[in-house]
Structure 1
């Protein structure tokens, strides 16, 4: 059912379904206290999910967008990147997972997105580091370990090269 959501992420809901979803959202907001609040909210959320997924069943095949091989490869790369960015930064890792050469994958990513593969990898790692630094009380060493850097100093160097700040400066000033 929801596999079509990947190729058709924007879905036009008919007015009746849209009104029903709005009503369910209002009901979710009303339930704040009580023993079974979690169960009620859960059931209402499942209702919304079922309504949206049933709307996907009505999509005609003509409406579903098809992707070229490079676009599919790029999408699969990003899926893997979001899954493994904390431990893997080598193009060869992602290429092996996608059964292509690192050179081919790098070329495809650059042609499809306009940015080099490693730029994407490093940007995701930097965003994760920023999130850790701003939303947790982890030490720089703990952030370094969470992002699989060999030493805290290599993490500090990596972060400074890409942001212009040390992790501590970023946490305290920005």
Structure 2
């Protein structure tokens, strides 16, 4: 599946593409990529000043400094402007780089905050912000210095960031997970949707798995989120379709098959109903 490469990130941020396994960005004039995409790398972002509106899957975050953002390659994301000021530090890295000499190849999967839509954004208190600021300063100093042992030093700082994010999550667990505890049905529905939306578009499937009638499920989800369960399902499919349509190596017919539509015509009508344009019209935006 085509994704944002490290080289593409380097072009987006106008920084040198000096390494194929990781990329450090310290930006005071950050670009906004307003179309959904996936990336080939993990990302740990430190929002130093200002803020940004972040969309991860179907979740919208109004991120304000100081905060940490954690994203796995599989997460669909896009960014829109929320303030005139945005300063941030980002370390992008491939799992192959981080785990090159690590015995546990599943190390990153142990940390939910890379994949879990409720945990991507971590607001920081002053001591936490100061600690992360220092780590990113060390990364920047290493990046700008000589190349001797540079990859290994960068790797050690990434491990430090992962451990610090995990520790901060545990330290503030009651605050961070309160929304999940308060609305367990909504959390279960979103988890089920994230695993099945490509194959299952019918509301009955989700209602059956959650032991509710379709009507009851839709009403409960709408009460909590402001949109029905059916709308959540449709939006998830459209978001995936937008990502796939940016991959010019896939035909529209192939994409309709990936998303389990009976044919290209049915997919086209579905996409137009949700976006106001045909799949081909959407794809032309990237010519």
Superposition TM-score tier, normalisation by shorter sequence: 0.7 to 0.9
> Which structure dedicates a bigger proportion of its chain to helix?
1
Could you list the runs of 5+ residues in structure 2 that have no partner in the other structure?
1-109
> Which aligned runs of 4 or more in structure 1 are off by greater than 6 angstroms?
1-5, 31-36
- Given that 1:70 and 1:112 are in contact with CA atoms closer than 8 Å, whether structure 2 keeps it comes out as no
- Given that 1:159 and 1:167 are in contact with CA atoms closer than 8 Å, whether structure 2 keeps it comes out as yes
Q: What is aligned with 1:22?
A: 136
Q: CA deviation at 1:135?
A: 3.8
Which deviates further from its counterpart, 44-53 or 11-20?
Answer: 11-20
Q: State whether structure 2 residue 116 is matched by structure 1 residue 116.
A: no
Could you list the runs of 5+ residues in structure 1 that have no partner in the other structure?
none
Q: CA deviation at 1:26?
A: 2.0
Correspondences of 1:1-174 after superposition (within 5 Å): 6=118, 9-12=122-125, 14=127, 16-26=130-140, 29-30=143-144, 37=151, 40-59=153-172, 61=174, 63=175, 66-67=178-179, 71-173=183-285
> Which structure dedicates a bigger proportion of its chain to strand?
2
Q: CA deviation at 1:31?
A: 8.7
Task: Specify the structure having the higher radius of gyration (Cα).
Answer: 1
Give the length in aligned residue pairs. Answer: 172
Cα root mean square deviation, aligned: 3.5
Cα distance change, pair 124–52 in 1 and its aligned pair in 2 (3 A): same
Cα distance change, pair 29–78 in 1 and its aligned pair in 2 (3 A): farther
- Given that 1:126 and 1:162 are in contact with CA atoms closer than 8 Å, whether structure 2 keeps it comes out as yes
- Given that 1:31 and 1:41 are in contact with CA atoms closer than 8 Å, whether structure 2 keeps it comes out as no
Q: For residues 78-121 of structure 1, what are the alpha-carbon distances to aligned partners after superposition, in whole Å with 9 as ceiling and x for unaligned?
A: 12222221111111212223233322211111111111111111
Counterpart-to-counterpart distance in 1, 2:218 and 2:189? 10
Cα distance change, pair 10–75 in 1 and its aligned pair in 2 (3 A): farther
Which deviates further from its counterpart, 118-127 or 74-83?
Answer: 74-83
